A and B are shown apart, each in its own frame.
Chain A
Amino acid sequence: MDLYPLWNSLRIAGISTAVIFFLGILSAYYIARLPRTVKGVLDVILTLPLVLPPTVVGFLLLRLLGPRRPVGAFFLEHFGLRLTMTWESAIFATAVVIFPLMYRTCRGAFESFDENLADAGRTLGLSNTYIFWHIRMPSCRPGILAGMVLAFARALGEYGATSMIAGYTPGRTATISTTVYQLWRTNDDGLALRWVLVNMAISFAVLLAVNLLEKRERRR
């Protein structure tokens, strides 16, 4: 059994989770303090990928990043970079799809933070940077961790947008989910089943990790 799809899925999910970890936290932190109307509008836009069918996300991404589309053409011309049909392309797809998960859980965590703690820190003379990293973040840690693990799990299972923007090339862009589809389509049920079991094992482990984390945080 060629394990390339496993490795490819893990790295795509890992990189996109790392990217949205920062993007999600930053946008949640800044949007949480905006006036209510602006917040409402941004909220809808940023949450949209969560409810749109992944094929729609994939379609829109292709319109943007395809070799003859504005952004895609620019990168191809100036940097010789193809933004579609490579394994890295899948990162765009998964990042867009999982961003709302991270953003929303982080925002929930930031909004339930007791601002009096930050105010107390300021009157005690603690710098705003110190307060962010040592008071705000630790208080919001359970929410942020949960968001991250969920985002990772979702990234691992991403199929629709990924198959559109990265396609399926064995040994190059194949991920677990696209491999399962391809094997099933070519009547290789036995191998497909093996990949299904691999995928289920990973998802099981991830969800177990979420539960253990939650339990540990509650004990603290």
Chain B
Amino acid sequence: MALSVDVEKRFRGFSLRIAFEAENETLALLGASGCGKSMTLRCIAGVEKPDRGRIVLDGVTLFDSEKHICLPPQQRRVGLMFQHYALFPHMTVEQNVLCGARRALRGGQRDSAVQDALEALGLMELKNRLPGQLSGGQQQRTALARILVSQPSILMLDEPFSALDSHLRFRMEEQTRQVIRQFGKTVLLVSHDRDEVYRMADRVAILKNGQIERIGARGEVFSDPGTRAACVLTGCKNVSAIRRIDDQHAEALDWGITLALPLKPGTDALGIRMHAIRPGEGENAFRCRVTEVIENPFSFTVMLRPLCAPSSAAPIGWEMEKPVWRSLRAEELTVHLPVDGILQLKG
């Protein structure tokens, strides 16, 4: 159940060059909008044709520009869930799911497979409704059922939760994880939401401008994103370019401070996650002025500017639980940036 992709496609002002492999795992493609994530899925599904390259799924060549192979989507057995689900609006839930069963199954088996899929996704009571009469979550379940009865070799989910309200998202994520476990084969997940990616995926590929900047196990990618784009996409809000003073010291240009840390070769930016900052004295400690306090539902984000930094410097965000801030509350504070919390970045 292995997928191997190595494709190129040119667009006006943008070109896609993607190569990766995935096998019986959930691989997330994480990137900003317009970076080519959805286009990658569409190329694999065959609804978009790459200019060059090769796509092989379970030993079957789906696309090979040199051998002039380009299987039509109908023969690829690739399940693609579109961002807005692409349910057929004039067909009931049951008829939509039946459409998925037409390729894989013959007459008698179709009905029982459709009933099973409706049952498994809790759609039995909704089976005679039209998509327009369903909630977002119900539409997504219908789309999943429709894909699963088509017995795909791979499941590809394009921004599966972006059309849902936040309270529904959590429940649908849970259900989708269950579907993925039962599916047991390769799953590609496209998303721009790092939390969603972290909860759902085994491995993560970070895309920027049509290329994979970093690919690896999710823990690795999140703890050591490696590049500036990857750092920002994994949710790090504090990033600063640096000037290297020596192997042990760097001037963080955006923050206006000098930090002591063993610099890796090639590092040209540093990041620190908002929750990695610690109060009090320690390595890289700075006396800071509080420039703004932002109250989140369950935490505070406190914006700090070191006293030694010019007023044009970017403030550093520090996020903490509400009781912590209530006990610390002050106009000036000393904080330190622990070396093991500082991310060393390129680009």
Contact = CB atoms under 8 A, between A and B. Distances in A.
A145 to B, nearest CB: 14
Interface of A: 114, 116-117, 119-127, 130, 135, 138-139, 220
Interface in B12-59: 42, 45-47
B225 interface: no
A124 B146 contact: yes
Given A124-B102, A125-B104, A135 B88 contact: yes
B72 interface: yes
A138 B95 CA distance: 14
Interface residues of B, number: 28
Given A125-B74, A220-B130, A119 B147 contact: no
B89 to A, nearest CB: 7
23 contacts: A114-B86, A116-B84, A116-B86, A119-B45, A120-B80, A121-B88, A122-B73, A122-B74, A123-B73, A123-B76, A123-B79, A123-B80, A124-B147, A125-B74, A125-B77, A125-B102, A125-B104, A126-B99, A126-B103, A130-B102, A135-B88, A138-B90, A139-B88
A120 B82 contact: yes
A124 B78 CA distance: 8
A123 B78 contact: yes
A126 B147 CA distance: 12
B100 interface: yes
B82 A124 contact: no
B207 to A, nearest CB: 21
B39 to A, nearest CB: 13
B176 interface: no
B130 to A, nearest CB: 7
Given A116-B84, A122-B46, A139 B89 contact: yes
A203 B42 CA distance: 48
B150 interface: yes
A82 B103 CA distance: 52
Given A116-B82, A220-B130, A123 B46 contact: yes
A130 B98 CA distance: 13
A124 B150 contact: yes
A53 to B, nearest CB: 40
A130 to B, nearest CB: 8
Interface in B112-145: 130
B100 A124 contact: yes
A75 to B, nearest CB: 43
A116 B89 CA distance: 12
